[in-house]
Amino acid sequence: MISMDSFLSLESLTAADLNGKAVLVREDLNVPVNEQGKITDDTRIREALPTLRHLLDAGARVYVTAHFGRPKGDTLEARSTDALRLKPVAEALEKQLGKVITYAPNAITPKDWLAQHPAPEPGSLVLLENSRFHPGEEKNDTELARAFAEGIDIYVNDAFGAAHRAHASTEGVAHHAPKTIAGLLMQRELRALARVVNDPQMPVVAIIGGSKVSTKIGVIENLLQKVDRLLIGGAMMFTFYKAQGLHVGDSLVEDDFIDVAARLLERSEGKLVLPTDVVIAEHFPKDGDAGVIETVPASAIPEERIGLDIGPETIHYYNNWISESRTLVWNGPMGVFETPPFDKGTRALADAIAKQSVTQAKPEGKTYSVLGGGDTLAALSQSGMDPDAFSHVSTGGGASLEYLEGKALPGIAALKQQAATAGGA
């Protein structure tokens, strides 16, 4: 049966379908770690738990594969650096699951594991080593994809955050496993994003910020066709200002993209909204200090001053748009949130959005809000905001951006293709 998402999901399988089955789960466990190798944010591990628990409770024999960091080199030996082993992840996962798991530092695929051990017992879990240690992972090598599928009854792709990469463990394996389905996190992410993009309740407001317009042109172009207003913030606003002939002082500008910014403004028919005032300082923050801080209108940024946040007037009228919205999508901080007080714009908008978001605790909320972006999430966690205060917070920065650009994500395309073949059979 093909589900309404046009791929099969874990929800559609009963415990009997899973009991005793060998299942390979691709998770996104690429958590940030500090210099001591300590995990600084375990969101991705926590988000993986529902799928893993579901499989373990049903008595599946579970292998988990995931990547970690960016190993370099041409050979397995060169790429297998101790700092990028999944050991800390294994420890955190075991703690979170409340269940002993097996960490397999010498096996990347089920094939590697089976060469040395019997299959995992029903209801137990083997965490395979960093998939990117294998030089074939990022090349989507066919032999490696086959090794991932070896001895497997079902492949579950739950790694939304890695779905924009056509790698052996995210895409290739789907073509070799007897059955390919989406995990619970994958499904949740796709439902939330589809709700924003495909059939949103109007008015729809998008907020796009961050450092560079160049990384978000595709998103802005695609969203402009779908939203009522697209509010700009972050450093990219200065490239738009320059496109309008305004002076931006020492603010961050991408000179090569001024033309693109001008074209986006022209084509947007007034939907693209720029900040009217800016918080400026003497220099980019160093050790928490940026010199004298002032707020000026967009048209009055002096020489030798740098814009670091949106101003109070902008917050006020962006908040008006937020309060009007029934659907809202946000990617990219409004300012240099890492250094207070330049986190003010980002925090103010986050507060306003949270107040009216539809959530599990507040189903009567007005606005369905979806947030994504690595630094956007970092900004929220830095200001102590609860991710549950929004309708959906995406675990996939790059993947959510590509989805919002309207691109097909290879990992998801493979799920759909497999479902279509299975459904036709």
Residues 374, 396, 397, 411: which is the catalytic one? Answer: 374
277-281 β-sheet, strand order:
294-297, 277-281, 306-310
Extract the tokens encoding 269: 């028919």
Residues 44, 132, 216, 271: which is the catalytic one? Answer: 44
CA atoms within 13 A on the CB side of 188: 17
For binding to ligand ADP (CB under 6 A), which residues are involved? 210-211, 215, 234-235, 252, 307-308, 331-333, 335-338, 373-376, 397
Number of residues counted as binding Mg ion (CB under 5 A):
2
Contact of 93 with 29, CB cutoff 8 Å: yes
Residues 46, 99, 212, 326: which is the catalytic one? Answer: 212
- Considering only 27, 129, 150, 375, the residue that binds Mg ion (CB under 5 A) is 375
Q: Between residues 359 and 376, which has the closer beta carbon with respect to Mg ion?
A: 376
Tell me which of Mg ion, ligand ADP, none is bound by residue 235, counting a contact when its beta carbon lies within the kind-specific cut-off of 5 to 8 angstroms. ligand ADP
Q: Between residues 123 and 218, which has the closer beta carbon with respect to Mg ion?
A: 218
Instruction: Return the residue nearest ligand ADP (CB atom).
Output: 210
Q: Between residues 374 and 396, which has the closer beta carbon with respect to ligand ADP?
A: 374
To the query of whether residue 216 is one of the catalytic residues in this protein, the response is no
To the query of whether residue 161 is one of the catalytic residues in this protein, the response is no
To ligand ADP, the closest distance from the beta carbon of 382 in angstroms equals 11
Q: Between residues 5 and 375, which has the closer beta carbon with respect to Mg ion?
A: 375
From residue 1, alpha-carbon distances to 6, 23, 221, 304 in Å are 9, 20, 35, 63
Contact of 128 with 109, CB cutoff 8 Å: yes
Query: What CA–CA distance (Å, rounded) separates 230 from 227?
Result: 7
Helix axes 374-382, 344-356, angle to 10 degrees: 90
Residues 263, 398, 406, 407: which is the catalytic one? Answer: 398
To ligand ADP, the closest distance from the beta carbon of 403 in angstroms equals 13
Q: Between residues 278 and 419, which has the closer beta carbon with respect to ligand ADP?
A: 278
Q: Looking only at Cα atoms, what is the longest distance across the chain?
A: 71
To the query of whether residue 212 is one of the catalytic residues in this protein, the response is yes
To ligand ADP, the closest distance from the beta carbon of 211 in angstroms equals 3
Contact of 92 with 55, CB cutoff 8 Å: no
Q: Between residues 133 and 330, which has the closer beta carbon with respect to Mg ion?
A: 330
To the query of whether residue 398 is one of the catalytic residues in this protein, the response is yes
To ligand ADP, the closest distance from the beta carbon of 355 in angstroms equals 21
Tell me which of Mg ion, ligand ADP, none is bound by residue 252, counting a contact when its beta carbon lies within the kind-specific cut-off of 5 to 8 angstroms. ligand ADP
Nearest residue to 193 (alpha-carbon basis) of 373, 316, 2: 373
| Strand residues in 158-291 grouped as ranges (E) | 180-182, 204-208, 229-232, 272-273, 277-281
Residues 6+ apart with CB under 8 A from 1: 8, 12, 423
- Considering only 172, 234, 311, 374, the residue that binds Mg ion (CB under 5 A) is 374
For residues 308-337, b (16+ Cβ closer than 10 Å) or e, as one string?
Answer: bbbbeebbeebbebbeebbbbbbbbbbbbb
Catalytic residue numbers? 44, 212, 374, 398
Chain residues binding Mg ion by CB under 5 A are 374-375
